[in-house]
Amino acid sequence: MKKKKSTLKYFFSFYQADKFYFFTSIIAVVIESFITMVLPLVVGFTVDNILLGEKSQTTNLIFRFFENFGDRNFLLNNLWIIGVILIVLTSLRGLMELIADYFIAKTAENGAEKMRRTLYSHLQKLPYAWHARAETGDLVQRCTSDVEVIRRFLQIQFLQIIGAITIILASIISMISLDLPLSVVALSVTPILFVASIIYFRRRRDSFELWDETEGKLSNRLQENLSGMRIIKAFGRKKYELEQLEESHRELYNYGLKQYRIMGNFWFLSDILSNGELALIVIIGTIRVIHYGMSIGVLIVFVSYADRLLVHLRILARVIADIGKAQISFGRLKEILDAEPEPSDEGLAEPKLSGNIKFDNVTFQYPDGNEPVLKNIYMEIEAGQTIGILGPTGSGKSSLLLLLQKLYEPDSGTLSFDGIPVEEINRYSLRKQVGLILQESYIYSRSIADNIRISRPNASEKRIKHYAKIAHLDEDIKEFSRGYNTMVGERGVTLSGGQKQRLAIARTLIRDCPILIFDDSLSAVDTETDQEIRKSLRQRPDGTTTIIVSHRISSLYEADKIFVIEDGQITQKGKHRDLMSQDGLYQRVYQIQHNWLDETR
């Protein structure tokens, strides 16, 4: 089992390659913060020492720096020097801000890109059972919105945290060194703001978690509606689906409103406390200037630092809440990344299969199931044979096919290919050699030719047309205005059901798999076309093992062997004529279909 990394360690692993950019941006923002703290000292020195002619009560470092330019009279007559120094400091601060923003943006973008690649790669490695439980819309939301929340946090809020902490600490130290009694007043509201920030952080994080989960549900519902628009229209469910969507929107709206209500309450309280404290500092500071010898320059510097302290305390509270959002978003990503992938099967056999398959008393039960869906299945298939499988819905036919692609493995018994147990065969090698054509095959929004060559990107036009002819799709394609270059739309919306199935057949045939499985994938074509496709398949010289799962007897009757599956067990087997002489499901289905055909003639 894969060892899980700690959340923090896992988070920073995505930025490992950009350590230089990351730490450079931190250094730049710290320098920028210190320059911000120096600017009020220059102003305070100018007021006290140059304009009022009093001895500076600000730091001796500033005093010694200005001594290098000349005495008070010289600086008074050349105030442009002060202006130039302020411009240089401001420009340097702007440069540090630019460096910090550029490098952290590069780090954040590279990290987000790596997250998306890692997520997509990991999703492809996850087992079929995991995907069967997952909701597509929620996965899309996690891979887009949640990654964006993390990117924005690192690019914007992270540097704000570093800057805010630097300025808060520097402001506290500077205020204490300037005037201790006034510092006590200035810091009196800090504990209240701190407690309010903690409460704000927790409530905002909880609210965002609900909002994020609701957005995932909304994305999933929207994705389902857009994918199933034809069904919605066909069944007249427009009003119902709109009401369901509105309900999800209202839920999302309410959670969003709750977040802004929490935010509004915090800023309202912090505004009152901050502005009230600044007013108190100005009043007490003025009294200390008049009666206790505090200089005006020190008061200006002190008020400036107090204002910066309160502003950055509030900024810190806000971005701490954003930490909660990023924490939740990364937690949702980590749920995917922590999911156990399929075994790599490294070192297992990768044989070139000829098409022999054997189920030897195979029993299988789904991990979350209550009872086996396949029971003691015994089935021997020789290379090049055509096998038919018939059974009612829920009998275990699809489960049997999942085992053939090693999407699951038997709980007992042995499934083997060419005498090699499936447990000893590399699953990825096996899947390349087992072509599965589903009843509802996914068609991509690209040209017909590109859909056929999707598994063989370099396939020639001649090869594409050859397999389209075997699938009896070539004549249909010729009727399209752009032929094989015709765009089929999302999920093949411009094609009929039968055309989509035949395109999927051509797409699988081009892989030249030694084993072909038709999972009711001829259900949407007419009986005549069905017969022609099977005839074309039999004429192929390579001796492909073909397994046809169908409810239509006309698709199965020419098979070399037919298996009837009921309730997870093989109840009948043999050729068409053998099964017709037996009382059982096969005979009943034949009679129903045959009688129906007689009635419709």
List pLDDT tens digits, range 527-551.
777 777 777 777 665 678 889 888 8
Residue 267 corresponds to which tokens in the numbers above?
């800023």
Q: How far apart are CA 415 and CA 357, in angstroms?
A: 8
Q: How far apart are CA 400 and CA 165, in angstroms?
A: 61
Which residues are bridge partners to 515 per DSSP?
434, 545
Indicate if 439 and 581 belong to the same structural domain. yes
Residue 399 corresponds to which tokens in the numbers above?
């489960």
Indicate if 310 and 362 belong to the same structural domain. no
Q: Is residue 513 part of a domain?
A: yes
Segment among 27-31, 489-493, 577-581 with least mean pLDDT? 489-493
Q: Is residue 345 part of a domain?
A: no
Residue 161 corresponds to which tokens in the numbers above?
């945290």
Reduce the DSSP state of residue 572 to 3 states and report it.
Answer: strand
Residue 565 reports pLDDT greater than 80: yes
Q: How far apart are CA 215 and CA 239, in angstroms?
A: 21
Indicate if 132 and 22 belong to the same structural domain. yes
Other beta carbons less than 10 A from residue 353's beta carbon: 21
Q: How far apart are CA 310 and CA 300, in angstroms?
A: 16
Q: What is the CATH number of the domain that holds 529?
A: 3.40.50.300
Query: pLDDT category, 55, cuts 50, 70, 90?
Result: low
For 177, the domain range is 7-316
**Angle 336-342-348 (CA atoms, 0-180°, nearest 5)?**
155
Which residues are bridge partners to 563 per DSSP?
389, 573
- How many independent structural domains does the chain possess? 2
Residue 236 reports pLDDT greater than 60: yes
Q: What is the CATH number of the domain that holds 86?
A: 1.20.1560.10
Percentage with pLDDT > 70 across the chain? 84
pLDDT at position 412: 92
β-pairing verdict for 561-566 and 545-549 = unpaired
Mean pLDDT score across all residues of the chain: 81
Other beta carbons less than 10 A from residue 102's beta carbon: 14
Q: Which residue has the tokens 């309450």?
A: 265
pLDDT tens column, 265-301: 777 777 777 778 788 888 888 888 888 777 787 788 8
pLDDT tens column, 305-339: 888 888 888 787 777 767 777 888 888 888 888 88
Residue 525 reports pLDDT greater than 80: no
Q: Is residue 385 part of a domain?
A: yes
Segment among 32-41, 264-273, 326-335, 353-362 with least mean pLDDT? 264-273
Q: Considering only CA atoms, which of 172, 158, 161, 120 is closest in space to residue 21?
A: 158
Segment among 251-255, 341-345, 553-557 with least mean pLDDT? 251-255
Query: pLDDT category, 72, cuts 50, 70, 90?
Result: low
pLDDT mean over 90-119: 92
Indicate if 199 and 88 belong to the same structural domain. yes
Q: 403 with 412: CB under 8 angstroms?
A: no
Q: Considering only CA atoms, which of 373, 286, 30 is closest in space to residue 170?
A: 30
pLDDT tens column, 491-521: 666 777 778 888 888 888 888 888 988 887 7
Residue 442, Cα to own-chain centre: how many angstroms? 21
Indicate if 304 and 397 belong to the same structural domain. no
Indicate if 502 and 441 belong to the same structural domain. yes
Query: pLDDT category, 57, cuts 50, 70, 90?
Result: low
Cβ-proximal residues to 490 (8 Å cutoff; 6+ apart), any chain: 445
Cα→Cα distances 509→306, 351, 452, Å: 75, 20, 9
pLDDT tens column, 191-230: 777 777 677 667 766 666 676 677 767 776 666 666 666 5
Half-sphere exposure of 505 (CA within 13 A, CB side): 33
Residue 405, Cα to own-chain centre: how many angstroms? 26
Reduce the DSSP state of residue 291 to 3 states and report it.
Answer: helix
In the chain, the amino acid numbered 564 is: V
